[in-house]
Chain A
């Protein structure tokens, strides 16, 4: 530095402008009102497309109403009693529960492991490309995925049976064999939704403050101690949200199964969503199908409540 610039050491703070503060308050009131006005169209659409149909469905559940068979007749709780007493309905429920538990368990397990691996390899070359490729199944429509996998599983010219044949194995008709159909559908669901759990795991890990992770390094914490005292307390909310969303989604799996198996062979893959679809759009029994839909809704609400309860419990500890 050749010349002294003492002026830079003489800086003084400038006074705050009160007038600009008042103008700021007026602006914020305006923008709040504008924000609310912009919400109105969304709320109207939400009411027309969600709220009214839901109440309509709840009402229909108490009627005996089949399209083309005359006017609806109020039957009280009859539809629910029939569902409760139907062995077939209970079998469907158990099947759905099994599918949900196995699918979610694999998706969460694989998603968390892969999420941790991707998190720990931030400087790996090609990481972004690998993540993009991994997320592809999640963004493909389930109907497209179902058709695509149906072709893959095809016994005559499907690529999976080609590989089985290549290794000298016996060709398997995955989608009509009662022993293979459930694992085959499960595999596709896991393929589709594990990336979602990877994403949620990465988001959960991203929510952990860097200072805490660095402190864990300084303090030489083991992997278990890091997970227990640093990662889990911060990441659990996002991770639990991911598990909840997957649980509800797996519970109402319909489109994938319909395109792959149509609920068959027999009713081996007839889950609640598929049964509901068949009752509503094959038999046109709107009363009974509305009752089944209401049961599904109650189960979804129950699962959400359990999630919120668990979260509140851990927060209050």
Chain B
């Protein structure tokens, strides 16, 4: 078992023309599952490839435990990796494929066979054990690739968007398998994805990336509930946070914050599901708005657009909400103060308690 430490890690392509990863210093905890989450092109795959030794960092160092592996070649890093493209070794059966990385290990043959059988059972591949891998569908191939990475019992396993290239019909099945698997493994796992639902359900920690930097690293609940930046608030959630700019909407911002806007706060943010709506007339601290388009959102909720001058606030309503969903009707909305996040001009979160003091 080993933690993974990155110290000042950076990667530039085209001799500095494209900066994929910028000066990262962070630790992936030993035995934890961390999802690298972010939009396409944010550098998450490059970061994982550097950890695997498939890319050479331009700056910084990588440590597995206390060992500096920055310049160590991939085959000597002792890690398992599952690629986006389901890699299987053609011409082999499922059992042979899973056993291939074990051939270099100095273990009795019976021990190796037992390990292969164990992961075959763990991933529910028993019925395919003697099938040629070439004949399998993409999801089963990817399961074989996962089994191969797990069978090695390497201290680190890397997953590079393993669900992306799987047939849509099998995605859910594979996701379920991975969730069960991660709960049983105690290796250090890094999982790259751009799908926040996947990250939320699989990870112990999420490292949210943007433009080659880590925006925030925290357990899923903290990242969602207490985003440390405007980007984190916007990227997570469907839809993301609402933002009220203080400069153009000072009265609304003050109403949301329940009083004066503290110095340094340039925007306030809150999640659509935290918006409370009433159609029963003016209320103290609530903002008046006109109900705009109402559509059906995930989970059978309604997603309503509340219009207040130039401001559009998205709000999620239960499907049986007593609030009239007729377009054009007047409503009053508010947000519990504990659900509000305030941001400064650098788009970073401000602690409201200390800001008030």
Q: Which residues of A contact B (CB under 8 A)?
A: 1-4, 6, 9-10, 209, 211-212, 214-222, 225, 228-230, 232-233, 317
Contact = CB atoms under 8 A, between A and B. Distances in A.
Given A1-B346, A4-B266, A214-B83, A221 B100 contact: yes
B100 A225 contact: yes
Contacts of A214: 52, 54, 74, 81, 83
Given A4-B343, A6-B267, A220 B54 contact: no
B162 to A, nearest CB: 12
Given A217-B75, A219-B101, A211 B266 contact: no
A219 B100 contact: yes
Contacts of B73: 217
Contact of B83 (A4, A215, A221): A215
A121 to B, nearest CB: 17
A230 B134 CA distance: 12
Contacts, number: 83
Interface string B56-72: 00000000000000000
Contact of B240 (A9, A215, A225, A228): A9
B343 A212 contact: no
B90 interface: yes
A2 B346 CA distance: 6
B80 A4 contact: no
A212 B148 CA distance: 13
A6 B245 contact: yes
B184 interface: no
A218 B243 CA distance: 45
A4 B101 contact: no
A6 to B, nearest CB: 5
Interface of B: 52-54, 73-75, 79-81, 83-85, 87, 89-92, 100-101, 103-104, 132, 134, 145, 148, 152, 230-231, 234, 240, 243, 245, 266-267, 312, 343, 345-347
B345 A4 contact: yes
B279 to A, nearest CB: 25
Nearest to B241: A9
**Interface centre among A9, A212, A222, by most B CB within 10 Å?**
A9
12 contacts: A1-B345, A9-B234, A9-B240, A215-B87, A218-B52, A219-B152, A221-B101, A225-B100, A228-B91, A229-B89, A233-B134, A317-B134
A217 to B, nearest CB: 4
A229 B90 contact: yes
Contacts of A233: 90-91, 134
Contact of B85 (A211, A219, A317): A211
Contacts of A209: 85, 87
A4 B245 contact: yes
Contacts of B132: 317
A219 B100 CA distance: 8
Contact of B81 (A2, A218, A221, A229): A218
Contacts of B74: 214, 217-218
Contacts of A216: 89
Nearest to B90: A233
A209 B80 CA distance: 19
Contacts of A221: 89, 100-101
B80 A211 contact: no
A92 B230 CA distance: 83
Contacts of A220: 75, 101, 104
